[in-house]
Amino acid sequence: SKVNYHVSALLLSTLPTADTTSPPAAPFNHRIVSARPSQIRNFYTINWQEVLGGGRFGQVHKCVENSSGLTLAAKIIKARSQKEKEVVKNEIQVMNNLDHANLIQLYAAYESRNDIILVLEYVGGGELFDRIIDENYTLMELDAVVFIRQICEGLQHMHKMSVLHLDLKPENILCVSRVTNKIKIIDFGLARIYKPREKLKVNFGTPEFLAPEVINYDYVSFNTDMWSLGVITYMLLSGLCPFLGDDDNQTLNNILACQWNFEEQEFIDTSEEAKDFISRLLLVNRSWRMGACEALNHPWLSDAVLHHPSINCETGKKFTEK
């Protein structure tokens, strides 16, 4: 029953796997955005035929800004009540704090009676999720390292800016193109500024990525995102979901019992470093999990092949800067 995202290893990856440089930045400088009460179609041409993605919020369409010719993405979020609008404005507020190449950038926002539209950096390579299930890509362990490093770097920046993502899953990680391993984290719809001892009630759909403290309606913190990173790493290396049960109830019970293992044959060739990395994230007690900086320093992400210097997690300085 764990096998829901099966990866068949038929073709060799032709991706330039060890290229660990940052993805291209957004084609505009970081902006502080607030929702403007004007009609988006006075400024942009939205391609209603081209749906880039969707979710509980609504749909994302490709669009072009008339004045600049810039290709962007319009995320149309249904929000009628004042309360619904406040939730979207929180998303805008959170994104205003985040200026990093691994985090999707916000360009503008438009508010009308029934919705708020976020105009975002356009990212065209599809979901990481599709790579996991696409039989035409064989994800090598080094591919996973490259993906996970970038997610970690995005998380490190978010956490430095006191932002929790709280909805990290493969669907919310976009590839920059079909031919590179560059990624950007998207969807800050559940993200929030960290407040110590804030409890969080999440209205969740798929439970596979939820941390135990979220299910338990307990305090959430930066390491709540690190649990999700552990789940994503497990999936990238195996195509399997670590906690998936026969139904949602069983999945939730597996998470609360922290019941997972490397027994599936998909892990036969997985390195000990990779297993150790996951084992230091999928821990019930969030204070025992690695933080983003520690994860970047873990041997799996900073080994000799990749030549990543380790970072002093207190000062942020690289240890090679002697």
Annotated binding site for ATP: 75
Q: Minimum distance from CB of 255 to ligand NAG (Å)?
A: 12
138-197: contacts with ligand NAG (CB under 6 A) = none
Look up residue 33 and give its amino acid.
V
Per-position x/- string for 48-67, each x denoting binding to ligand NAG as judged by CB under 6 A, each - no binding: ------------------x-
Nearer to ligand NAG, 86 or 198 (CB): 198
What span, in angstroms and rounded, lies between the C-alpha atoms of 314 and 130? Answer: 36
Measured CA distances, 19 to 58, 147, 261, 308 (Å): 35, 11, 30, 12
Q: What is the DSSP string of 256-301?
A: HTT---S-SGGGTT--HHHHHHHHTTS-SSGGGS--HHHHHHSHHH
- Quick one: which segment of 97-105, 130-138, 225-233, 298-306 binds ligand NAG (CB under 6 A)? 130-138
Measured CA distances, 179 to 19, 43, 183, 230, 249 (Å): 12, 32, 11, 25, 39
What span, in angstroms and rounded, lies between the C-alpha atoms of 110 and 113? Answer: 10
44: helix, coil or strand? strand
- Quick one: which segment of 47-55, 133-141, 234-242, 306-314 binds ligand NAG (CB under 6 A)? 133-141
233-272: contacts with ligand NAG (CB under 6 A) = 249, 253
What span, in angstroms and rounded, lies between the C-alpha atoms of 236 and 278? Answer: 11
Q: Minimum distance from CB of 248 to ligand NAG (Å)?
A: 9
Q: Minimum distance from CB of 247 to ligand NAG (Å)?
A: 7
Catalytic residues: 167
Nearer to ligand NAG, 203 or 287 (CB): 287
| Choice from 134, 171, 273, 294 touching ligand NAG (CB under 6 A) | 134
Phi first, then psi: give them for residue 25, nearest 5 degrees.
-70, 165
Task: Evaluate whether 101 touches 54 at the Cβ level (below 8 Å).
Answer: no
- Quick one: which segment of 134-142, 180-188, 201-209, 265-273 binds ligand NAG (CB under 6 A)? 134-142
For the beta carbon of residue 274, count every other beta carbon within 10 angstroms: 24
- Quick one: which segment of 12-20, 154-162, 283-291, 301-309 binds ligand NAG (CB under 6 A)? 283-291
Task: Evaluate whether 258 touches 264 at the Cβ level (below 8 Å).
Answer: no
Nearer to ligand NAG, 61 or 100 (CB): 61
- Does 8 engage in binding with ligand NAG (CB under 6 A)? no
Nearer to ligand NAG, 288 or 319 (CB): 288
Applying CB under 6 A, the residues found at the interface with ligand NAG are: 42, 45, 66, 134-136, 249, 253, 285, 287-288
